[in-house]
């Protein structure tokens, strides 16, 4: 989807169309840019940039708060269009998906025609623009969709993948971030074509398994990480976390602990969506001077319940916080998924089951009325504006059966 968060905001406020718009918060806040319109991007504004930096680059931009509920609702409509087009759909994020259209030629014709049909259907059903890349490789299709933006369609004919990729910057390759880009530049590798000329053994020696994946990607192959699985084969996350930065540093214990309760709710909600139970829980605590500590604990049994997570995280906080020290950022992280049946705590099993049923009911309410419909009393004072991001709770197509 093209500038998805901005485009959804334009549906609700058409006066924003064509103007430099930044979604994520106010320019004097500590948050980061969630999305920027194409008009704002011309000034160098991009996602994940601090809002204050965005304001310096484009002071004339219109800064708006994100509305995750709106984006989830529109993402559901997008998902409906996609699944109505082909049964093999994988939502990579709230605004991006992979589709397998193999075998649909009799319905839609050749690949390029099929893409244009989907393009028109999406606009008609959602009033939103999208860009589509078509290729025999998911990775190349993803890059193709990026090259087709805004509102375009690009077909990379089978056999031409390497030629298509060769002149592009290595940063265009999915998974190549700033660090990898810097390391590749140090080796004189700036274009994907430069990467494709290198021997696999050399790349493996320099970068390990990731080097082998890079070699495959440079030739237009699905290789490494996400691309090792089939479309629709959800391997699940390796960890789930949420964090928030206070608008003003605080040493208010009640507010801090209430914020931790809300963060635990957010993490636990996503755990249940994926059908996971975490064995390891971790607290992230950053003070005003930017010094940061992380403390992890493995509770007696794996959990996916808000209350159990909060009890563990609150204990970690109380044992590690410097009393009176102001806190800038808090984070809750869950990992280490349980396998098979967990050892039951016979004394606390009744309470565990009651909370399990309670949270299942709460999730049903959230599915129907939104994430703010119900929550722990302990987290009420710590409510904060949910950061708009690509993988929220309630992501279409990611709910367990």
CB of 332 within 8 A of CB of 303? no
Q: Helix, strand, or coil here: 96?
A: strand
Q: Is 96 a catalytic residue?
A: yes
How far is Cα 267 from Cα 163, in angstroms, rounded to an integer?
A: 43
Q: How many CB atoms lie within 10 A of CB 299?
A: 15
Nearest to 272 by CA among 219, 313, 247, 308: 308
Reading the block at residue 378, the tokens are: 């302990």
Please spell the DSSP secondary structure of 301-348, one letter per residue: S-B--HHHHHHHHHHHHHHH--TT--EEEEEEEEEEE--SPPPP-TTT
DSSP 36: E
How far is Cα 377 from Cα 261, in angstroms, rounded to an integer?
A: 9
381 φψ region: left (φ > 0), alpha (ψ -120 to 50), beta (else): alpha
Out of 96, 181, 204, 390, which one is annotated catalytic? 96
CB of 134 within 8 A of CB of 156? yes
How far is Cα 337 from Cα 188, in angstroms, rounded to an integer?
A: 41
Reading the block at residue 108, the tokens are: 């839609």
CA angle at residue 30 from 21 to 381, to 5 degrees? 110
Omega within 30 of 0 (cis) for the link into 168: no
How far is Cα 272 from Cα 303, in angstroms, rounded to an integer?
A: 10
* Active centre residues (catalytic): 96
């Amino acid at each position: 989807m093209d500038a998805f968060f901005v485009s959804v905001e334009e549906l609700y406020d058409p006066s924003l169309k064509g103007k430099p718009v930044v979604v994520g918060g106010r320019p004097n806040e500590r948050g980061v840019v969630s999305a920027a319109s194409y008009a704002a991007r011309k000034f160098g504004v991009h996602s994940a940039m601090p809002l204050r930096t965005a304001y310096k680059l484009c002071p004339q931009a219109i800064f708006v708060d994100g509305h995750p509920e709106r984006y989830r609702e529109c993402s559901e409509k997008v998902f409906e269009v996609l699944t109505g087009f082909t049964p093999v759909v994988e939502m990579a994020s709230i605004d991006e998906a992979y589709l397998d259209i193999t075998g649909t030629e009799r319905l839609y014709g050749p690949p390029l025609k099929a893409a244009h049909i989907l393009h028109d259907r999406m606009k008609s059903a959602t009033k939103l623009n999208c860009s589509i890349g078509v290729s025999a490789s998911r990775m190349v299709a993803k890059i193709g969709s990026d090259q087709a933006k805004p509102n375009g369609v690009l077909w990379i004919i089978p056999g031409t993948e390497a030629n298509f990729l060769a002149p592009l910057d290595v940063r265009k390759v999915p998974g190549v971030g700033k660090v990898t880009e810097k390391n590749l530049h140090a080796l004189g590798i700036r274009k994907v074509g430069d990467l494709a000329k290198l021997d696999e053994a050399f790349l493996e020696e320099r970068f390990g398994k990731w080097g082998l994946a890079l070699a495959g990607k440079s030739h237009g192959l699905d290789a490494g990480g996400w691309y090792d699985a089939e479309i629709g084969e959800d391997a699940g996350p390796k960890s789930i976390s949420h964090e928030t930065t206070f608008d003003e540093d605080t040493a208010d214990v009640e507010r801090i602990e209430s914020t931790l309760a809300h963060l635990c709710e957010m993490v636990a909600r996503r755990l249940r969506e994926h059908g996971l139970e975490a064995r390891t829980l971790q607290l992230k605590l950053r003070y005003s001077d930017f010094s940061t500590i992380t403390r992890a604990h493995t509770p007696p049994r794996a959990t996916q319940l808000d209350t159990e997570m909060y009890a563990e995280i609150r204990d970690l906080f109380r044992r590690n916080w410097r009393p009176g020290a102001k806190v800038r950022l808090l984070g809750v992280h869950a990992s280490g998924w349980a396998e098979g049946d967990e050892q039951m705590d016979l004394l606390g099993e009744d309470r565990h089951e009651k909370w399990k049923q309670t949270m299942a009911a709460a999730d049903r309410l959230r599915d129907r009325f939104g994430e703010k419909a119900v929550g722990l009393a302990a987290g009420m004072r710590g409510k904060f504006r949910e950061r708009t991001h690509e993988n929220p709770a309630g992501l279409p197509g990611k709910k367990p059966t």
